Structure 1
């Protein structure tokens, strides 16, 4: 591949990845902005907040995502990945405008629920889109960057809130951060016209010639290249098999047979792994955590969160780069094991120094929070939207990702509604409880997860069905003369 072909592949891939990054930034910005405005006096005073209303305000986005999840897969399959992403952007912009202009708590919650509708649709569409519209050798990195750039959203939210906090007690201290949530979706709307549709969606909808040209574009070469021809024939054969075997799009196909049920289980397993491991406690309630650790200044809390966001981004990118080499199982198990150890340490340090004036102990607690988020960011962050779309076959990918989104947001509701009361009732013991159920997650991954590294999406199907639905060789064998001959014959 010459430099011009590499440039074409890099540019197309960069544009595709930019869409998922913007979606990730939007989701992360929302979580972090709520964590930041929750410590602003103007925000609390304007809505006369208590523990219950703080939880409801944070939960509203998850409720919106849950509402749209049952039909998100149908929209993404029917209208295409790109159009669904565009609709999600419009919903996010409308929701941000309403919440930023809220005159009462009902209006604020309504705006956040509309944002949730957009996020639920976007996560279903964008994950399917990126997995299907990137070359196999860059797919793990692209999907890993999806949520690795979560830290950028957190950094932006904390940075904006840190700047507007100087306006406290003016209402604009919290309104500006809410309105700024429109920024990433607006960027996506400008990028989308330059992007191709998913080649698999095009081929499934009898637009094979367009799909072939998109495959060439994302691989940075021409349609006659052996790797493009192999992928094209592999996709054609697999999708034709799904059609002829009566495996229609939708939920019915998922529960129809054992391989699909296993795919769904593995896909859904990522939701509690990523949402209930402990990171969301820090995202939404880092103010409460730092206060319990002895750091009560809101300015200091935001400064710590800014550094934490930058730290997460660097570590998550490292995990994304190493995902293909290490494999999904090793990445997950190493991250999950370290998270468990570090969360026990956070609980122990909070118990020992949370009410003391021991400066070393207090900052030791903060250090363990950083180590926990580093461990989480290394593996679980990249895997959030890497593993679920990989294990799903085309005909159930959109529906499966919608169900994944629904479960993930339901776990988010649990975090935002339950943990405030746990903090009030049992304090530092909350970390011990959370770390203990992480051990169960570790056991589940070790015994059940299937490794997907080094395979195209269609080759992954063989791990579940026991047989490959195409006669072409695996892409990894393309350098062999025999494989090249087969491709040329195709």
Structure 2
């Protein structure tokens, strides 16, 4: 046992971890497991590809002219329809993942994305384009809802937090591919293939994931919940213990999972009511849903889908210029997100949350000030300052919110409600995105930089809530994290201080 492992997963689990003679990337069974989990992270590429692609397409004169220069309200519909599928089918995906396992919905989602991409690429009118995007949203949801749960339930204990934190950073892999493809095709000034090629490429990563999932194992925790303990043990022995049938780690994991499943059974937890039945469940659900809205209402939605309109407000109107900036932002975001994902165990969740929100608030405030100055006295220097602040905001957002908006919610719920809660979280995320899609383009067109003040207010409120109510989960195993919500650990800092004074 090492101090580092104890800090990461707690003393009980650290005590049974085998001593690895080599780093994980030179240890065959962990390299094999993490390669499988790498393909699970591909689920996040769909949303990233789409957001960046739409930013690029909105900057292309060929796309705008082909669809008769859609108005801001039509742009909102085009982007917002992607979120209607998740809102309508969110509960169904969670039920399917609990009923049939985590892998099958992801496989189905990949097939839907491929079909939707073909329809989107072949679109002959705006209605067909929008219909394809509705299907695309359903496919992305089927991939995204089970994937964080599969990753967190399958990962090696000391890698769990890092892997689930890195999962959503692959949003930027899709974004980078689409943004630079669109930048390259933007020079095809007279052909509709300037936007059809980026659209067609949206099926590449889901196709790779679909094939690779043949080798991705099922969640051992789900298998145990269905009474298939031998299958779960075989997966844990192969991927966590390198074939050691007598592994203390595997025995500990299975016993702990079975213990918590018995506790759930004795509590009579079943159906959707299980996610809010106890006081601790209500606390967990409130935090997860809050995070789903917070992660989309901190200002990133404007940058993700309407960067073109933002750049218009500071005089950057060239298609080539816009697509280049979009591509650079995605690269900066991915690097920042990877750094943040690797820091979650080293620094802890709370310090990262607080630092990120403070940075975003400062960047948004300065961004608003410089945008207002540009509106009254346009100058190149002010435009460059605004652009620089957009990059600063993207770094602050990506370094923490991108990794933690998935890894933090998925580790909070216990097994009996984890998949259902994540389904609701994604529905909340889609509702927040739907608001962004319909309101942002209209607001940016109508009131320009004044719209940013809304996000300054929201970021201020997020900072207060995170400081008061977000518990630190570092140093606990996956099953043990739920104990935090049964104890005083979830009490706000303010409440604890008051109780301390009273005593």
Question: What TM-score does the superposition give when structure 1 sets the normalisation length?
Answer: 0.92
Decide whether the 8 Å contact of 1:65 with 1:405 is kept in 2.
yes
- Name which of structure 1's ranges 164-173 and 368-377 shifts more when overlaid on structure 2: 164-173
Q: Which runs of 5+ in 2 are unaligned?
A: 1-19, 489-503
Instruction: Report the CA distance between 1:357 and its aligned residue.
Output: 4.9
- How many residues are treated as equivalent by the alignment? 465
Is 1:113–2:127 an aligned residue pair?
no
Instruction: Report the CA distance between 1:439 and its aligned residue.
Output: 0.7
Question: Against the structure 1 CA distance between its residues 223 and 349, is the aligned structure 2 distance closer, same or farther, given a 3 Å change threshold?
Answer: farther
Pairs within 5 Å for 1:332-481: 332-354=353-375, 356-466=377-487
Residue aligned with 1:169, SS = coil
1:370-427 Cα offsets, whole Å, 9 max, x none, are: 1010011111111111011100111111111110010100000000100112112221
Instruction: Report the CA distance between 1:449 and its aligned residue.
Output: 1.2
Give the match for residue 33 of structure 1: 53
Give the match for residue 499 of structure 2: none
Give the match for residue 238 of structure 1: 260
Pairs within 5 Å for 1:162-181: 162-181=183-202
Alpha-carbon distance between aligned partners in 2 of 1:10 and 1:326, rounded to the nearest angstrom: 25
Residue aligned with 1:193, SS = coil
Instruction: Report the CA distance between 1:356 and its aligned residue.
Output: 4.6
Q: Which runs of 5+ in 1 are unaligned?
A: 468-490
Decide whether the 8 Å contact of 2:186 with 2:319 is kept in 1.
no
Instruction: Report the CA distance between 1:94 and its aligned residue.
Output: 0.9
Pairs within 5 Å for 1:50-449: 50-221=71-242, 222-248=244-270, 250-354=271-375, 356-449=377-470
1:305-354 Cα offsets, whole Å, 9 max, x none, are: 21111111111111111111211111111101110110111111111125
Give the match for residue 35 of structure 2: 14
Is 1:24–2:71 an aligned residue pair?
no
Instruction: Report the CA distance between 1:220 and its aligned residue.
Output: 4.5
Alpha-carbon distance between aligned partners in 2 of 1:392 and 1:6, rounded to the nearest angstrom: 31
Instruction: Report the CA distance between 1:158 and its aligned residue.
Output: 0.7
Alpha-carbon distance between aligned partners in 1 of 2:373 and 2:179, rounded to the nearest angstrom: 28
Give the match for residue 475 of structure 1: none
Instruction: Report the CA distance between 1:2 and its aligned residue.
Output: 3.7
Decide whether the 8 Å contact of 2:39 with 2:213 is kept in 1.
no
Alpha-carbon distance between aligned partners in 1 of 2:183 and 2:75, rounded to the nearest angstrom: 20
Instruction: Report the CA distance between 1:166 and its aligned residue.
Output: 1.7
Instruction: Report the CA distance between 1:108 and its aligned residue.
Output: 1.1
Instruction: Report the CA distance between 1:143 and its aligned residue.
Output: 0.9
Cα RMSD between the aligned structures?
Answer: 1.6
Alpha-carbon distance between aligned partners in 2 of 1:447 and 1:284, rounded to the nearest angstrom: 31
1:109-163 Cα offsets, whole Å, 9 max, x none, are: 1111111111112211101111111012111111111111222211111111112
Residue aligned with 2:186, SS = helix
Decide whether the 8 Å contact of 1:7 with 1:220 is kept in 2.
no
Instruction: State the 4+ residue runs in structure 1 displaced beyond 3 angstroms.
Output: 2-5, 354-357
Decide whether the 8 Å contact of 2:87 with 2:431 is kept in 1.
yes
Residue aligned with 1:166, SS = coil
Instruction: Report the CA distance between 1:466 and its aligned residue.
Output: 4.2
- Name which of structure 1's ranges 238-247 and 435-444 shifts more when overlaid on structure 2: 238-247
Decide whether the 8 Å contact of 1:276 with 1:434 is kept in 2.
yes
Decide whether the 8 Å contact of 1:66 with 1:120 is kept in 2.
no
Residue aligned with 2:123, SS = coil
Decide whether the 8 Å contact of 2:72 with 2:445 is kept in 1.
no
Residue aligned with 2:344, SS = helix
Instruction: Report the CA distance between 1:460 and its aligned residue.
Output: 0.6
Give the match for residue 17 of structure 2: none
Alpha-carbon distance between aligned partners in 2 of 1:212 and 1:147, rounded to the nearest angstrom: 28
